[in-house]
Each structure stands twice: as C-alpha cells, then as structure tokens.
Amino acid sequence: YVVRNSALHGDLLQATAAGSASETYLSEADLCAGSGSDSVVSRQQRATGGTGSTFAGDCLAANCRAAALRSFVQLFRLWPKAFFGRWPLVLDFHSGEASRIGSGNEAPMPLMLTICKQDPSSKVRAAGLSALCALLEAPAVRTWPVPLERKGLVEAATRGTAGNMGAFTSFAGQVATTLRQAHTLVFGLLQTQNPANVQSALRASVDILGSTPYTKLRPGLLSETIRRVVPFLRAYSFLESLDNVAQTVTISITALNAALKRDDCSEELGKCLFLEPVPAFAPPVREGLQLSSDEVTTRFRKSNSSSRELPGFVVDELLSMGVHVAGLVAARG
C-alpha cells in the first residue's frame, strides 16, 4: 500500500501543477474563499451565466489539491522509512517543464517545492509546505551518520543546478540539496508581503529548524535561518500590551525557540548570537510584518533614555525584547 501511494504521488503532483498553471489568472480572494457547500452555492448565486460553475470548479480544484497534500502529510509521518528512500520520486527531481511554470529566469526546483511557491491558492501552498516538512522530519534525516555535503555541492545548490543532478549525485547529495532548497524556499516566502505566506513560512521554519541535520551540512545554514526569523521578533520591543499580539510575532518566537534547542549546534549558535552585530539582521522593510534595523535604532532611541546603549549584538537585542515583555507582564499583574 505504501509503495503504491509512493508511485501515485508523482501523478498527483503533476495534476496539481497542471491545476496551478491553469489558475494563475484567479485572485487570492477567489481561491481562499470558504470551502463548504454553502460557500460554493452562494458564490454560484452571485455569479451570472456560467461564471458561478467556473468559480465553484476552481474552488473545488484548490480544495482537492490541498486535501491531497494533507494526505501526503499523514503518509509521510506514518511511514517515514518507506518514503525516505524514494525522495527523487516523491519530490519529482526530474520534472522538466512542470517545475519551470512561471519561474522566469529562476532555476527549476523539484515539483513539490514549486507548488509551495507558485500555487495560486494560499491553502494549497500551506498544505504543500506541511507535506514538505513532514517529509524532512523523517528520523533518518536527523540521524544521518555521515556528512551529507561534499566539496562543490553547496555551490551547485546555490546556483539551483543541483536539483537537476539527481541521476549524477548520490542519495546523500540529493538529501543535502533538498534541505538547502527547502530553506531557500522558506527564506523567499518570508520576504513576501503576503501575510499568509509569511505565517506558513514561519511555521515551516519551526519544523525545519527541529529536523535539519545542520552538523552534517556546511556551516552557516542555521545562522542564516535565525537571521531571517529575528526581524519578525522586533515587534515585541514596541508592544504596549500583551493583548492581540500578531500571530506572525508569536510564531516567530516559537521558531527561535526551536533554534535555541539545537544543543548539537551550540558552536554555530554562539557565533550567531554573540558575535554578529544587529545590522547583519536587517531585512528589507515590510510594513506591518517586520522592522528593519534602522527602525529598531530609531524607535529604541525614542523609547529609552539616552544613557541606555543601543543593542550591539543579536543577543543584546533579544535580551532587550525579553526585558520589555517582562515589564508588560509585571504591569499586567
């Protein structure tokens, strides 16, 4: 049964990609509407001519794709050993044109990662990320006994060419490439202005930070993940109360906690937190989602006495946030 589902996975994802390609003209609101029968009926009633059935069909297609990907989450978690040895088939390393849909000049990715990035429905993108994280959570990944990367593979993964090397690289090389591509995918989604993408990517960061064997990869990937997460924590420094804290902020603290639990990566964590200055964590400003280091500096000067020093290293900024939140808790009684 597991082998049969693994073999069928490629066909289902091809169908998903076909649905994604045919629905790129739809708005996010169209595909994110309620999935119940009442919602579909009401949309049909509001439409004229054949438009209602078209919208209903599009909504149903998105729901079917999301349901299929959620089923994969269950399969990957129930039988991780069965799917671990079939990563090229599950991820579809050899999907030619399907992985280039809408990618422009970008290097192609495995089809599952393409769905996470390019599907027009936010619920499908979120389900795809959940399926990808479930696949990466296989115990065999975290406990891999030998280094996953060898000289030259990191450069190939950075250029995006390693995804096309499935027939020429070892299985360990494919695992390393997939791990780096998954991180790159999450980093890209964190930089978007779509709140749904950001929340899904932060949730994926929690899973990836807990399952990736960073000690078997070249150093730096864990530090880069922390750099991408910390900017979303900066809203903590400027909260006036603990009521109605944005969900993006609460998820980001969970992601940071997952990183700090990596006792096996204590050396890299120490360098990242205690030796890197705050400006190294400055992302592009995204209104309502994260704050740049310039904004942090300006607001810190306005809200603190001149005798207080500005945060110098990452750990200083995190401690400043913690002290501020502790003050809010104390004031709340």
For residue 266, is pLDDT > 60?
yes
Residues 163/177, Cβ–Cβ less than 8 Å: yes
Query: Cα separations (Å) of 47 from 26, 55, 258, 306?
Result: 15, 9, 47, 61
Using one digit for the tens of pLDDT, what is the confidence trace for 113-155? 999 999 999 999 999 999 999 999 999 999 999 999 865 544 4
The whole model's pTM is what? 0.73
Mean pLDDT over residues 252-277, rounded? 94
Percent of the chain with pLDDT over 70: 63
H/E element, 156: helix 153-159
Q: Provide the 3-class DSSP secondary structure of residue 235.
A: helix
> CA–CA separation, 15 vs 36, rounded Å?
23
> CA–CA separation, 177 vs 167, rounded Å?
13
Q: Pick the residue with more confidence: 58 or 103?
A: 58
Amino acid 92: pLDDT: 76
Amino acid 317: pLDDT: 87
Instruction: List the one residue out of 134, 133, 93 whose CA is nearest residue 114.
Output: 93
Mean pLDDT over residues 34-55, rounded? 47
Amino acid 105: pLDDT: 58
Amino acid 272: pLDDT: 93
Query: Cα separations (Å) of 115 from 4, 62, 97, 99, 125?
Result: 22, 12, 13, 9, 6
Using one digit for the tens of pLDDT, what is the confidence trace for 202-240? 999 999 999 999 999 999 999 999 999 998 988 888 888
Percent of the chain with pLDDT over 90: 41
Amino acid 109: pLDDT: 79
Amino acid 285: pLDDT: 39
Q: Pick the residue with more confidence: 88 or 98?
A: 88
Using one digit for the tens of pLDDT, what is the confidence trace for 270-324? 999 999 887 555 443 343 444 444 554 455 445 444 444 556 788 998 998 899 9
Query: Cα separations (Å) of 23 from 31, 87, 139, 263?
Result: 9, 27, 36, 44
Amino acid 278: pLDDT: 72
Give the residues across from 290 on adjacent strands: 286
Mean pLDDT over residues 27-32, rounded? 40
Amino acid 45: pLDDT: 44
Which span out of 41-55, 162-176, 185-199, 289-303 was modeled with the highest average pLDDT? 185-199
Give the residues across from 286 on adjacent strands: 290
> CA–CA separation, 1 vs 79, rounded Å?
11
Amino acid 250: pLDDT: 93
Amino acid 235: pLDDT: 85
| Backbone phi and psi for residue 169, each to the nearest 5 degrees, phi listed first | -115, 160
Using one digit for the tens of pLDDT, what is the confidence trace for 240-251? 888 888 899 999
Least confident of 28-37, 109-118, 175-184, 281-290: 28-37
For residue 6, is pLDDT > 60?
no
Q: Pick the residue with more confidence: 213 or 45?
A: 213
Using one digit for the tens of pLDDT, what is the confidence trace for 181-191? 999 999 999 99
Sign of CA dihedral 42, 47, 53, 55: negative
Least confident of 41-50, 102-111, 147-156: 41-50
Amino acid 239: pLDDT: 86
